[in-house]
């Protein structure tokens, strides 16, 4: 098979973005590993030592997954943490076998470590037994220490994360148990690489710290920091940049189609915005309320974030101007609508200079308020 036929085969199988499937499946292998362990809790806590439990976990996980799963040590605790059962897994590794039939000519175009899906230095977590008997999965202090995630996709049907064997479709609807988590954290950094041969994507993200607190569940507090960059699509490479997410997310599993962001801050390098919004996904997505604002955003910093291939003459701009803006949605807006939303907006440009080529403005400032009616 020549390279032309390989490329045709790769692109021809792609029906939709592989990244959406990644979001659905990336944690499935680890979840199955943990569920298999949980199934043995009833006898494991009392009868099995780590020396007996560790090879059992590896054996049964590898049997039910298209992957080799190994762990350095698996421990279960009950009496010391009653009424919680606590699980601790050291040095977990998941090596996918889903790429075993990829031709050598295609394999040479993949990363050298394409089969290694996940390595994890340590996992800790607990579940409340009494709550579980009442139908609620109440998780405690779930911590991932130094996870390293490596996502490699050849096409829509071939990827290293597709390690769960297909099962017969069960049309019987079952209610998911109610899940509550008091704390979720990633410690020690979490490098994530996303490589898609079909989409020409090669991105690397490093999550420095991540924490989710569910003390006020169903309102959760998020705090995530990291950095990343790379080839996000053919011809578009993003330089490495720092990012952060901080705020409160309201989501109730009993009303899963509604989500609320409260004082939610998103930042990239020195650019940050704050968002308060309510969104309804029950039918077509509808933004019910939205307030967004940005404070002291440097125009120079904003220009510096534009990818090199698109920056063009923007690089000629020299300025110390800063921008403040606000926006507020005046009525609910259906995202699928072709009309523009009804908005109230303000823009404040601080007094500063702006030079471009032979043009020099010694003083540039503005204070603008506008009401934008819904329409085209």
Confidence of residue 315 (pLDDT cuts 50, 70, 90): confident
Confidence of residue 5 (pLDDT cuts 50, 70, 90): low
Judged against a pLDDT cut of 50, whether residue 12 lies above it is answered with no
- Give the chain's length: 376
Judged against a pLDDT cut of 80, whether residue 146 lies above it is answered with yes
Mean pLDDT: which of 32-36, 73-77, 359-363 is highest? 359-363
Q: What is the pLDDT of residue 15?
A: 43
Judged against a pLDDT cut of 60, whether residue 261 lies above it is answered with yes
Contact criterion met (CB below 8 Å) for 224 and 213? no
Contact criterion met (CB below 8 Å) for 70 and 110? no
Judged against a pLDDT cut of 50, whether residue 83 lies above it is answered with yes
Backbone phi, psi, residue 256, to 5°: -70, -15
Mean pLDDT: which of 29-38, 169-178, 335-344 is highest? 335-344
Q: What is the pLDDT of residue 51?
A: 75
Confidence of residue 10 (pLDDT cuts 50, 70, 90): low
**Tokens 């579940």 sit on residue:** 127
Among candidate residues 39, 91, 40, 42, the one with its CA nearest the CA of residue 69: 91
Mean of all residue pLDDT scores within the chain: 84
Judged against a pLDDT cut of 50, whether residue 16 lies above it is answered with no
Least confident of 6-10, 101-105, 163-167, 217-221: 6-10
**Cα 204 to Cα 187: distance, rounded to the nearest angstrom:** 18
Judged against a pLDDT cut of 90, whether residue 121 lies above it is answered with yes
Determine the average pLDDT of the residues in 71-91.
82
Mean pLDDT: which of 22-31, 126-135, 142-151, 226-235 is highest? 142-151
Q: Which two tokens stand for residue 24?
A: 């659905």
**Cα 239 to Cα 304: distance, rounded to the nearest angstrom:** 10
Contacts 24+ apart (CB under 8 A), 232-238: 232/201, 232/203, 233/199, 233/200, 233/201, 234/200, 235/309, 236/307, 236/309, 237/307, 237/308, 237/309, 238/203, 238/307
Determine the average pLDDT of the residues in 283-304.
94
Whole-number percent of the chain with pLDDT over 70: 82
Judged against a pLDDT cut of 60, whether residue 1 lies above it is answered with no
**Is residue 114 exposed (0-12), middle (13-18) or buried (19+ Cβ within 10 Å)?**
buried
Confidence of residue 287 (pLDDT cuts 50, 70, 90): very high
Confidence of residue 215 (pLDDT cuts 50, 70, 90): confident
């Amino acid at each position: 098979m020549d390279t032309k036929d390989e490329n045709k085969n790769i692109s021809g199988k792609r029906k939709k973005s592989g990244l959406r499937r990644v979001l659905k499946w990336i944690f499935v292998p680890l979840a199955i590993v943990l569920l298999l362990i949980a199934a043995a809790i009833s006898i494991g806590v009392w009868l099995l030592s780590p020396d007996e439990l560790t090879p059992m976990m590896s054996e049964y996980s590898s049997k039910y997954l298209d992957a080799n799963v190994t762990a350095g040590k698996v421990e279960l605790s009950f009496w010391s943490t009653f009424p919680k059962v606590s699980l601790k897994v050291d040095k977990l590794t998941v090596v996918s076998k889903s790429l075993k039939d990829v031709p050598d000519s295609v394999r040479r175009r993949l990363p050298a470590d394409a089969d290694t899906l996940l390595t994890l230095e340590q996992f800790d977590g607990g579940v409340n037994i009494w709550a579980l008997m009442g139908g609620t999965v109440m998780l405690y202090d779930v911590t991932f220490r130094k996870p390293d995630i490596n996502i490699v996709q050849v096409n829509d049907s071939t990827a290293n994360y597709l390690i769960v064997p297909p099962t017969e479709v069960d049309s019987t609807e079952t209610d998911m148990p109610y899940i509550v988590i008091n704390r979720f954290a990633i410690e020690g950094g979490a490098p994530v690489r996303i490589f898609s041969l079909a989409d020409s994507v090669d991105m690397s993200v490093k999550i420095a710290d991540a924490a989710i607190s569910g003390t006020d569940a169903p309102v959760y507090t998020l705090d995530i920091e990291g950095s990343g960059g790379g080839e996000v699509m053919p011809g578009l490479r993003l330089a490495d940049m720092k990012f952060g997410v901080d705020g409160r997310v309201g989501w109730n599993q009993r009303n899963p189609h509604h989500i609320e962001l409260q004082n939610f801050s998103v930042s990239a390098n020195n650019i940050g915005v704050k968002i308060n919004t309510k969104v309804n996904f029950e039918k077509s997505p509808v933004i019910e309320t939205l307030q967004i604002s940005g404070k002291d955003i440097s125009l120079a910093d904003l220009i510096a974030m534009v990818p090199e291939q698109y920056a063009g003459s923007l690089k000629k701009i020299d300025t110390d101007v800063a921008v403040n803006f606000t926006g507020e949605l005046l009525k609910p807006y259906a995202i699928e609508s072709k009309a523009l939303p009804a908005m109230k907006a303000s823009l404040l440009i601080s007094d500063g200079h702006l030079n471009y080529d032979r043009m020099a403005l010694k003083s540039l400032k503005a204070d603008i308020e506008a009401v934008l009616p819904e329409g085209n």
